[in-house]
Amino acid sequence: MQPLSTLLMPRRKTRRIYVGDVAIGDGAPVSVQSMTTTKTADVDGTLAQIYALAAAGADIVRCTCNEQAAAEGLARIIPRSPVPIVADIHFHYEMALAALEAGVQGLRLNPGNLRKESEIKLVASEAKDRGVPIRIGVNAGSLHPDLYKKYGGVTPEALVESAKMELAYFEDVGFSDVKISVKASSVALMIAAYRLASETFDHPLHLGVTEAGPPPAGLLKGSAGIGTLLAEGIGDTIRYSLTADPVEEARAGRQLLESLGLRERKGLDLIACPSCGRAQVDVIAVAKEAQQALEDRNLPIQVAVMGCVVNGPGEARSADLGIAAGKQKGHLFIRGKIVRVVAESEMVEALVAEAERLVAEGVEARLAAADSTAEAEAEADRRALLDGGGADPNASEVRVGRIRARSGGGGAGGAGSPEKA
């Protein structure tokens, strides 16, 4: 089967930079970022969150560095972190210098907040000497007043010009180890700004809808903006900005990349039918129970929960594993082939057990271990559902019967056919 990523627009060609050992740009896998919400001076608390973010799929984690205690905390955190750490700098260039002393693998500077040319160049020079990249983090909410006035508000052109001005300072000191973001809370503005940035710069781009808010709305905004650009081949590293536990950000970022085929599946991908009148079980409840039971196991497979055996195994045949309901039964299938029939009360338990065996033994081994009577039993249940009308909530067969009756019993020779006219 053709890889999903090849169905998208080709990735935009950019320079390659490294944040620690994570490659960004020039065809490197799109990376996931998030940010801690702890006080950076709280070393153990911050490390606990960093480890949780890494487990959820974050490749890079950003920590605030707003005071000396935070910089000292970074010095203790970085040697113990499982992923590279980026220091978030807002108003004080001294904190950028302190973060570099602490050993951070990256800096994020906001041009709207750190504005003095001499200070910006000093930080860039220090970063250059240490081989540490910088993200120029333009934000619609902190655009320089002069640019706001020039463009009559926040526009894609204003955001991109802000990044160009900062980049010019960097170039004056020979520093080019840069990635760029032009974030906005408006999805439409964010998309337009990044499209313009992709035409303007050859530096890698960090994607995000800033201040997207709490889920589910925040997830929808982030997915709309980031997903649109990734599908167009734009973007080298991403972050969801949610008003929530940052672990949700990392998990969402990873799932988005996996769903687009831009990263190899690392965890569970559970799909489920939306349910309808032919469903034999509460699909929503079963899917939720299966999600909870499987999610923490980090099994890199796609699992389907389907409401009926009539169409379920066929519709979800691309899934690694699935289960479809029959009359008080669950029909377990692998790549569309029924391998076992279990009691309805055991559906989730059987699904979890088979998922673990599938990952451990492989598809071919599990297909070879299929119950020889399972397919026949599933077909009998399928026929029973069809004969009982339970799989025809739209009364399509009744309508077919009426059509045949109008034509005199069906067939080309019925009343009203061209031969009898």
CATH of the domain at 275: 3.30.413.10
Which residue reads 């009426």 in tokens? 402
Residues 111 and 252 in one domain: yes
What is the reported pTM? 0.82
Residues 218 and 275 in one domain: no
Q: Is 74 part of a structural domain of the chain?
A: yes
The pLDDT value recorded for residue 386 is 72
Lowest-confidence segment of 158-162, 318-322, 394-398 by average pLDDT:
394-398
Q: Is 395 part of a structural domain of the chain?
A: no
Which residue reads 């700098």 in tokens? 89
Asked if the peptide bond before residue 216 counts as cis, ω within 30 degrees of 0, the response is yes
Which residue reads 């926040």 in tokens? 154
Contacts 24+ apart (CB under 8 A), 155-161: 155/189, 156/182, 156/189, 156/192, 156/193, 156/195, 156/196, 157/196, 159/184, 159/193, 159/196, 159/197, 160/193, 160/196, 160/197, 160/200
279 against 287, higher pLDDT: 287
Q: Is pLDDT above 60 for 219?
A: yes
One-letter amino acid of 5: S
Q: Is pLDDT above 90 for 180?
A: yes
d(CA 70, CA 66): 6
Radius of gyration of the chain (CA): 28
Q: Is 152 part of a structural domain of the chain?
A: yes
Residues 181 and 274 in one domain: no
Q: List the domain range (segments joined by +) for residue 376.
A: 269-387
Band (394; pLDDT cuts 50, 70, 90): very low
Q: Is pLDDT above 50 for 418?
A: no
Structure tokens at 30: 């799109």
Q: Is 415 part of a structural domain of the chain?
A: no
The pLDDT value recorded for residue 14 is 96
Residues 254 and 309 in one domain: no
Band (407; pLDDT cuts 50, 70, 90): confident
- Tens of pLDDT, residues 259-277: 999 998 887 888 888 777 6
Instruction: Give the residue from 321, 341, 316, 345 showing the smallest Cα distance to 331.
Output: 341
Lowest-confidence segment of 61-65, 110-114, 187-191, 351-355 by average pLDDT:
110-114
Residues 249 and 360 in one domain: no
321 against 284, higher pLDDT: 321
Q: Is pLDDT above 50 for 393?
A: no
CA distances to 128, 190, 316, 350, 362 from 320, in Å = 47, 36, 9, 15, 10
Residues 55 and 158 in one domain: yes
CATH code assigned at 232: 3.20.20.20
- Tens of pLDDT, residues 127-167: 999 999 999 999 998 898 999 999 999 999 999 999 999 99
Q: Which residues pair with 18 in a beta bridge?
A: 23
End of a domain among 236, 259, 282?
259
Residues 214 and 304 in one domain: no
Per-residue pLDDT, averaged over 322-349, amounts to 88
274 against 336, higher pLDDT: 336
End of a domain among 259, 291, 317?
259
The pLDDT value recorded for residue 404 is 83
Per-residue pLDDT, averaged over 319-330, amounts to 86
Residues 231 and 363 in one domain: no
Q: Is 394 part of a structural domain of the chain?
A: no
Residues 254 and 298 in one domain: no
Residues 64 and 142 in one domain: yes
Q: Is 279 part of a structural domain of the chain?
A: yes
Residues 192 and 315 in one domain: no
Instruction: Give the residue from 239, 231, 229, 180 showing the smallest Cα distance to 208.
Output: 239
Number of domains comprising the chain: 2
- Tens of pLDDT, residues 1-36: 567 777 899 999 999 999 999 999 999 999 999 999
Mean pLDDT (the chain) is 90
d(CA 231, CA 244): 26
CA distances to 113, 118, 135, 209 from 107, in Å = 14, 17, 6, 19
Q: Which residues pair with 333 in a beta bridge?
A: 322, 338
Q: Is pLDDT above 90 for 349?
A: yes
Residues 247 and 277 in one domain: no
